[in-house]
Amino acid sequence: MQNSFRWYGPNDPVKLTDIRQSNAEYIVTSLHQIPYGEKWNKNDIKKRINYINKYNDSYKINLKWNVVESIPVHNNIKLRDKNFKKLINNYKDTIANIASNKIYTICYNFMPIVDWTRTQLDFKLPTDGLALRFNYLQIIIFEMYILKLKDLEKRYTKKQIQNAEKIFRSMNSNDIKNLKIAVMGGLPASETKYSVNGFKKMLKSYKGMKNKDIKENLREFIKEIMPVAEENKVKMGIHPDDPPIPLFGVPRIVSTMEDYEYILNSYNSPCNGMTFCAGSLASNFNNDVYKIFNKFKKRVNFIHLRNIKKEKDKKSFYESNHLNGDVDFVKLIKMILKEEKRRSKEKKIDIPMRPDHGHSLLDDQNKKNFNAGYTAIGRLMGLSELRGIIKAVK
Ligand code: DNO
């Protein structure tokens, strides 16, 4: 596996020199300053590579940008609405421009409205570390009391609504503010920090869209971009929905084994692959992560390793460390190494892998402007645990 670390660019409080101390050798990053939908110019990509190289030279390190995560997909593409054709053309040009700078792996996702979603960014663990958490009742509270949506009984049971009401009564204004921040843009890589009205407007544009409609829009998108990826030898990896369940009454379509089967069959090419994110996939109770890996292993173009601990309601979870969660990482890593061994016979390169989120530990907790989930020390511990397993089972 190519040990990689996500870096949010020159403004990331976690610097490249910090990343080097984690023993990572590769950088996963994106041009986050470019608004969704706009084309990335060759020069802007080159500039970022030069930035990394300059850092390498002055600190005598050798980090290499191996994966673009992500080129975000504009909501108009997901809706196939308005200027979507122009946006798809920009997307294709961006793929080609990235490849011309010799980066050949790109991660993307197709989650409607918001990218990954959590309801709490500082869930206290017994160790006093802080983790990210997704609580289903908090999502109902968000819809009921922050968005003030009216049709909740269509998708939630009476009991769930009553439980959410009960919890809401015990929340103070700070709790509500934190919930609002967490869901509407407190996480890095989210498109916009939505206002309540902006969020509701987006919800309206998805109104009436069925699972099958969004799936078809994704298939059309895939059919348009993959020939460009093939021509430029770029491996695309679609990231699963995080969490892989419908949210706010809008379908999510990259959640299950069946979803991936549909997606990978929409265009049969190694370029049309997946980002295997263990933590995201495992947070749907019906998903068997080992089975999913085995079924699609040849099409895994990028790996995120993160663990979770599911909660009693079977819909909520918090992010655990790699060694204590629901996914058996020794078992999973053995499977990944076996697949890499198979690929090595075809002289294919190792699969890029990054430890996904980390807890907020020790001095991480004193940092003001860090990206939630992307702490230095927490992720360093994550990568260390993973490297230990890899070394032991190899
Ligand atoms: C969360 C991440 C996501 C992911 C994108 C992929 O930490 O895994 O932001 O990068 O959804 O496109």
Q: Are 123 and 132 in contact (CB under 8 A)?
A: yes
What confidence tens digit (pLDDT) does each residue in 282-318 have?
Answer: 999 999 999 999 999 999 999 999 999 999 999 999 9
Which of the two residues, 169 and 349, has the higher pLDDT score? 169
- Among protein residues, the one whose CA lies closest to atom 1 of ligand 1: 116
Q: What does the pLDDT read at residue 195? A: 87
Q: Are 335 and 290 in contact (CB under 8 A)?
A: yes
Residue type, 212: K
**Annotated catalytic residue: which of 239, 318, 359, 364?**
239
pLDDT-derived band at 45 (thresholds 50, 70, 90) equals very high
Q: What does the pLDDT read at residue 132? A: 96
Q: Is the pLDDT of residue 188 over 90?
A: no
C-alpha dihedral, 220 to 271 to 30 to 386, nearest 10°: 130
Q: Is 356 a catalytic residue?
A: yes
**265 CA to middle of ligand 1, Å?**
23
**Annotated catalytic residue: which of 304, 318, 322, 364?**
304
Q: Is 136 a catalytic residue?
A: no
276 CB near ligand 1 (under 6 Å): no
pLDDT-derived band at 347 (thresholds 50, 70, 90) equals confident
- Among protein residues, the one whose CA lies closest to atom 3 of ligand 1: 116
Q: Is the pLDDT of residue 242 over 80?
A: yes
What structural domains and CATH numbers belong to the chain? Answer: 2-393 (3.20.20.150)
Q: What does the pLDDT read at residue 375? A: 96
Average pLDDT over residues 271-289: 97
Q: Is 374 a catalytic residue?
A: yes
- What angle do helix axes 84-100 and 42-59 make, rounded to 10 degrees? 40
**Annotated catalytic residue: which of 74, 322, 357, 359?**
357
Query: For residue 107, which atom of ligand 1 is closest to its CA?
Result: 12
**202 CA to middle of ligand 1, Å?**
20
**Annotated catalytic residue: which of 242, 259, 356, 364?**
356
Average pLDDT over residues 129-152: 96
Q: Is the pLDDT of residue 334 over 70?
A: yes
Of the residues 14, 29, 30, 70, which should be mutated to test ligand 1's pocket, given the most ligand atoms within 8 Å of the CB?
A: 70
What is the average pLDDT score of the chain? 95
pLDDT-derived band at 346 (thresholds 50, 70, 90) equals confident
Average pLDDT over residues 339-353: 91
Q: Is 239 a catalytic residue?
A: yes
Q: What does the pLDDT read at residue 194? A: 83
**238 CA to middle of ligand 1, Å?**
10
Calculate the alpha carbon distances from 355 to 1, 3, 78, 210, 251 in Å: 11, 8, 28, 34, 28
Q: Is the pLDDT of residue 336 over 90?
A: yes
Q: Is the pLDDT of residue 257 over 80?
A: yes
Residues of the chain with pLDDT > 70: what percent?
98
Q: Is the pLDDT of residue 190 over 90?
A: no
Q: Is the pLDDT of residue 191 over 80?
A: no
Out of 217-221, 257-261, 277-281, 365-369, least confident range? 365-369
Q: What does the pLDDT read at residue 185? A: 74
**31 CA to middle of ligand 1, Å?**
14
Q: Is the pLDDT of residue 193 over 90?
A: no
69 CB near ligand 1 (under 6 Å): yes
pLDDT-derived band at 378 (thresholds 50, 70, 90) equals very high
Q: Are 120 and 135 in contact (CB under 8 A)?
A: yes
244 CB near ligand 1 (under 6 Å): no
pLDDT-derived band at 186 (thresholds 50, 70, 90) equals low
Among 211, 201, 269, 204, residue whose Cα is nearest residue 238: 269
Q: What does the pLDDT read at residue 355? A: 95
Record the pTM.
Answer: 0.97
pLDDT-derived band at 192 (thresholds 50, 70, 90) equals low
Among 239, 266, 273, 269, residue whose Cα is nearest residue 255: 239
DSSP secondary structure string for all residues of 142-187: IIIIIS--S-GGGTS-HHHHHHHHHHHHT--HHHHHHHHHHHTT-S
Residues of the chain with pLDDT > 90: what percent?
91
Q: Is the pLDDT of residue 349 over 70?
A: yes
